[in-house]
Structure 1
Amino acid sequence: MQLEWLEDFIELARTRSLSRAAENRCVTHPAFGRRIRALEEWVGSALIERKQPLSLTPCGVLFLDAATQSLALLTAVRAQFQGTTLSRDEPVRIATGRTLACDFFPDWYQSLNRQLGSFPVSLVTSGAQEAISKLSAGEVDLLLSFSSPLTQTLMDPQRFDSRVLASEELLPVSAPDAHGQPRQQIAVDSSALTIPWLAFSPTLALRGVLAQHLEQLPQRLALRMVYQADSYDAILEMAKRGIGLAWLPRMVVKGALESGDLLIAGSAEFRVSFDVSLHRLRANQSELVMKIWNSL
């Protein structure tokens, strides 16, 4: 059995596509298929259902967890053997989202530098689920993310450590009208869908945070989705143009609120609190990662 077979299977489980997984692993489709079949022969059982849409067999689901844990542990041990630490020349690999990369990471990184001295970082941005997969597979050392129902579901506390770095809010915002009032005001209605709403795509971590909060309100809000995007900045631009009401992180809308391009469009009960958190595999005990972790 070869380690690359485990990496192939984890990528296939992530993409649920033989052709896309083969492309991501930089091998031809036939060669990738042969490697998956070789892994199944080694395991002694079929791991995937070869039909559309592609899915894992019950054995495949169990083996995926074993494969990710084994690969993560081996990667962490190999890193220790190759130099005991992530040396000053080897970057700490951090996965995060585009918004946190721009609006949170630079200040946080500078504060760490003041505490620990300068060290190199390799930052990769992606959707929440992909970033969690990268951490689980040992492809990154740390995950910087918005806390959400998704992270709470996928981050097994027996495998991952988590630390809260900051508290944040989702604010309901709208462009001002001619009288200096929010163009879209939050209204409560049990039946009518009247407020144009700029929504989060399913890949955004805060979609679940917002959905959970709205579900807990005593009455349903009268929202009509007119736009959906997988970028908080894209939603911000549409909100500034008056297209609809949006919930956005305070760090994203701070400048627009200060300039008057946006106004808060609802009372305190419509604001949604959440955390910015850092996560790591418990198996990753490299010195610099632990130094960062213990400094938080």
Structure 2
Amino acid sequence: MELRWLEDFVVLSETLNFSRAAERRNITQPAFSRRIRALEDWVGAGLVERTTHSVALNPSGQHFLAHARAVCFSLAQAKREASELAKSTHTSLNIAATHALSFTFIPEWLRQQNDVMSLGPLNLVSDSMQACENLMQKGEIDFLIAHAHPDAPSELQTPQFQSRVIGHDQLMAMISPSLASQIKTTKHPAPYLAYSQESGLGRIIDATCKHTNTDGLAKAGFTSHLAATLLSMTKSGAGVAWLPESLAGRDRDTGQLEIFNPDFPTIALEIRISRPRQRLSKIAEELWSSLPLS
């Protein structure tokens, strides 16, 4: 069995598409398919159900996926730890954060941490929740900072990882005053601007608002994993979007945005920092120890 077979299988589980998975692995689709077949032969059971138009993990594949991810993570982490031990220079901190928090929460939070201790060299990656989780599962970052909600579990809520609350935020359905006025006149539903599947905020909205009466909203006509994109489109009058207060609060205070429907719930959010349970570099462990318990 080859490690790359496990890595292939993990990517296939994320894309559920042989062509996209092969592209991400930088090999041809026939070669990728042969490697998945080789893995299945080694396991002694089929792992995926293949049809003309779709791919899905079967029960054996779902069970095997957790172990495949754990092996890939452990080896990547061991490689990284060995590399860091071999370095005589100061190790940099590697932090990933979702886009919305990278614009708002992260700069001030990092300044506060630097007041407590010298963080030294820092590599900050800003991406979607799904991409950040992938980096953590591959052992390529020390910490992930993202919005969280109890009803929308993260892929990192496993024994391999741990997290702490370092802040709070809230989601509100927002609209521009011009569009609100137009809707009152026409009585038409407001266009809905939604988060894509890669977005952690999208997961939270799906989990917490599935029983919410959304009268007055049309079906989603636009999606993005970027809260900043939805903010810009909402301000321009393109529709209604659930926006974090940390990002849209100033625009609400200045009158560029307003609450769409006071009857819609406000969704309370935690801002969490997650890490692997395995020991990190000295500076990463010092940062973790300085954070309040939660």
Q: Give me the TM-score of the superposition, normalised by structure 1.
A: 0.81
Q: Secondary structure at the match of 2:153?
A: helix
Residue 19 of structure 1 is matched in structure 2 by: 19
> Per the alignment, do residues 232 and 153 of structure 1 end up closer, same or farther by CA in structure 2, a change over 3 Å counting?
closer
From the superposition, tell whether residues 50 and 209 of structure 1 become closer, same or farther in structure 2 (CA, over 3 Å): closer
Letter in 2 for 1:58: P
Deviations 1:221-249 (A, max 9, x none): 43224643212222222222233333211
Change (3 A) 1:244 1:47: closer
Once the two structures are superposed, what CA deviation does each residue of 1:33-79 show, in whole Å capped at 9, x if it has no partner? 33333333332333233433122233222221111112212222333
For residues 56-205 of structure 1, the aligned pairs below 5 Å read 56-84=57-85, 89-148=90-149, 152=153, 154-177=155-178, 183=181, 194-205=189-200
Count how many residue pairs are aligned between Structure 1 and Structure 2. Answer: 287
For residues 281 and 253 of structure 1, the distance between their equivalents in structure 2, rounded to whole angstroms, comes to 32
Partner of 2:249: 254
Separation of aligned partners in 1, 2:138 and 2:152:
15
Cα RMSD, aligned residues only: 3.1
Distance 1:269 1:56 in 2: 37
Separation of aligned partners in 2, 1:2 and 1:264: 54
- What do the CA deviations read for 1:128-181 (whole angstroms, capped 9, x no partner)? 23332332232333221111467515333422201111110112322224xxx9
Deviations 1:241-273 (A, max 9, x none): 233333211121133224322233454873221
Structure 1 partner of 2:9: 9
Q: Give the aligned partner of residue 228 of structure 1.
A: 222
Shift of 1:274: 0.7
Match of 2:266 in 1: 271
More divergent stretch after superposition (135-144 vs 259-268): 259-268
Q: Check 1:110–1:216 CA distance in 2 against 1; reply closer, same or farther (3 A cut).
A: same
The one-letter amino acid paired with 1:30 is P
CA gap of 1:150–1:84, structure 2 versus 1, over 3 A, is: farther
Identity of aligned residues (%): 30
Greater shift in the superposed pair: 203-212 or 98-107: 203-212
- Supply the distance in 2 between the matched residues of 1:88 and 1:168 (Cα, whole angstroms): 37
Give, in angstroms, the shift of residue 213 of structure 1. Answer: 4.2
Identify the residue that residue 201 of structure 2 maps to in structure 1.
Answer: 206
Is the partner of 1:5 in helix, strand or coil?
Answer: helix
Provide TM-score, normalisation by structure 2: 0.82
Q: 1:244 aligns with which of 239, 247, 250?
A: 239
Provide the secondary structure at the position in 1 that maps to 2:181.
coil
CA contact (8 A) 1:128 1:205 kept: yes
Distance 1:105 1:47, change over 3 A: same
Distance 1:200 1:252 in 2: 15
